[in-house]
Amino acid sequence: MKKPDIYITTPLYYVNSHPHIGHTFTTVVADIVKRYHKLFGRQVYLLTGTDEHGEKIAMAAQNAGVDVKKFVDDNSKRFKEVWDLMGLEYDDFIRTTEERHKKVVRYLLQKLHDTGDIYFASYEGHYCIGCERFITASELVDGKCPDHGTVPKLVKEENYFFKMSKYVDTFKKEIEKKPDIIRPEWYRNEVLGYLKEKIEDLCISRPKDRVSWGIELPFDNRFVTYVWFDALLNYISAIGYPDNPEFKDYWNVSEHFIAKDILRTHTIYWGTMLLASGLPLYKHLNVHGYWNMSGMKMSKSLGNVIEPTAFKQKYGDQGLRFFFLREMHWGEDSDFTMERYIGRYNTDLANNYGNLISRTMGMMEKYYPNDEKIEITKDLLSKHPLKDALENVIKSYKNDFYKYEFHKTLELMWALFDDTNKHIAESKPWEIAKAGDKAALCKTLAPVLEIIRITTYMLTPIMPLVCTQILNELGFEGAVNVKFDDFTKWGYSKTFNVKYKNKKFFERIEQ
């Protein structure tokens, strides 16, 4: 691959169970962002994978009565299969049990041990297995972990520690200097809030007699590496740290996508680990909120999950991708209910966008039969009110979309579909056709076709399969090999040769 313009990562998901809609969301968003940048000709590299060590995984394997290696192999495969089934375009899938990763973890542990940033001491703290980390007193709510609702267990043992506290001030200065390093900004402020508390050093080992499923410390074989200290390093091990001469090309343009549950680990832990290793911080940390069910975070431990494979079998995945982006306001929580999904699908996709396409294509089929082309000349398109609205959508797509404020662009685009549907209703092309005035018919339909062509192209990253099909039936190859600024030009297409095959692109979901 050419030098990347963006290196995108998702979290490495725990393999203690199977992927649900929450994991699917982050991975789908990463895929959409990749496809979006590709429209502008940018090179994007997308990494995902699975987090496979630690106490939580070992316990899950034991509870399932399966050998832990087999357990992680099977469950990691499940994630990969689901991403493949959803057609996601990842470039690499890393597993923390792979040698290419383990060797980087050992290398860095040794390096930090040699520089004196890792030391041995005894420690007592409250450990949440769900989070796989010690919880500070100020995080507890009624003595329980706020994310898992469980009482952390008191653990006292001798371990190795990373001098996290030594790097906290530098980390704080770095994020103060870079207003958009953590997005949306309120999460950056939340992190600055954490940094007001006293930050302790980080316990980065587990004695083998308690947890043996992990990467052995290179300097003491009685211990394995703490799972977060291991997993976070995937972001650099996957791109060949430290030997790959191209490593910096990737790291300098890195963007992590996570939900807010792992904000602390991706800032205080990961930030200080990078600084101690002599590496710059990631370029951006993009943080989204939770998909909730009845106000509770959808999660394996709470058991309130929607399973992506079953969802896809019943409803497909194109509508889901749209729903994800339209419904969640980036950074905030959102409720996932089937009523909301079906409502959004029927209103926005079946009734509005879908109907606009079928009625337009239906008219083209009827009024321009036998391969007759509609010729688009400049005078047919000049100064149309729909054009100004479209320009606004394009502007928002370029600006808001890149800040992950997807719903704003989609809101504007759907208002444009409303106006386009209104334009059809008011200009009554069926009456014009009846009167046999082809020039006037063309003048009415040309802007509608342009709106459909350009918006469908822009929707391709969100609904690649169905949008490519729509573009094909409009007589275009799809979104590949065309530059954004060319294809979104009003009047770029000189003819439309509609080959309408699908009678309906978005069938209503009847309950």
Active site residues: 20, 23, 128, 131, 145, 148, 297, 300
Minimum distance from CB of 85 to ligand ME8 (Å)?
18
- Residue with smaller CB distance to ligand ME8, 50 or 346: 50
What is the β-pairing status of strands 296-297 and 334-335?
Answer: unpaired
User: Of all residues in this chain, which one has the CB nearest to ligand ME8 in the complex?
Assistant: 22
Contact residues: ligand ME8, CB under 6 A: 11-14, 22-23, 25-26, 51, 231-232, 234, 258-259, 261-262, 290-291, 297-299
- Residue with smaller CB distance to ligand ME8, 16 or 420: 16
List of residues 6+ apart from 92 with CB closer than 8 A: 45, 46, 47, 48, 49, 238
- Residue with smaller CB distance to ligand ME8, 260 or 384: 260
Determine the 3-state secondary structure of 511 from DSSP. Answer: coil
- Residue with smaller CB distance to ligand ME8, 249 or 261: 261
Please compute, for residue 496, the number of CA atoms within 13 A of its CA located in the half-sphere on the CB side: 32
Per DSSP, the residues of 445-491 read HHHHHHHHHHHHHHHTTTSHHHHHHHHHHHT---STT--HHHHTSTT
Minimum distance from CB of 191 to ligand ME8 (Å)?
15
Minimum distance from CB of 261 to ligand ME8 (Å)?
5
C-alpha 436/C-alpha 194 separation (Å) is 71
Question: How far does the chain reach from its first CA to its final CA, in angstroms?
Answer: 46
- Cβ contact 496:373 at 8 Å: yes
- Residue with smaller CB distance to ligand ME8, 25 or 414: 25
- Cβ contact 48:9 at 8 Å: yes
- Cβ contact 290:298 at 8 Å: yes
Minimum distance from CB of 501 to ligand ME8 (Å)?
37
- Cβ contact 155:206 at 8 Å: no
Minimum distance from CB of 420 to ligand ME8 (Å)?
34
Minimum distance from CB of 79 to ligand ME8 (Å)?
9
Minimum distance from CB of 430 to ligand ME8 (Å)?
46
CA dihedral 479, 480, 486, 490 (to 10 degrees): -20
- Residue with smaller CB distance to ligand ME8, 297 or 453: 297
C-alpha 423/C-alpha 465 separation (Å) is 28
C-alpha 25/C-alpha 287 separation (Å) is 12
Sign of the torsion angle spanned by Cα atoms 174, 43, 319, 364 = positive
- Residue with smaller CB distance to ligand ME8, 129 or 415: 129
Cis peptide before 242 (omega within 30 of 0): yes
Task: Identify which of 282, 345, 291 has the alpha carbon closest to the alpha carbon of residue 319.
Answer: 345
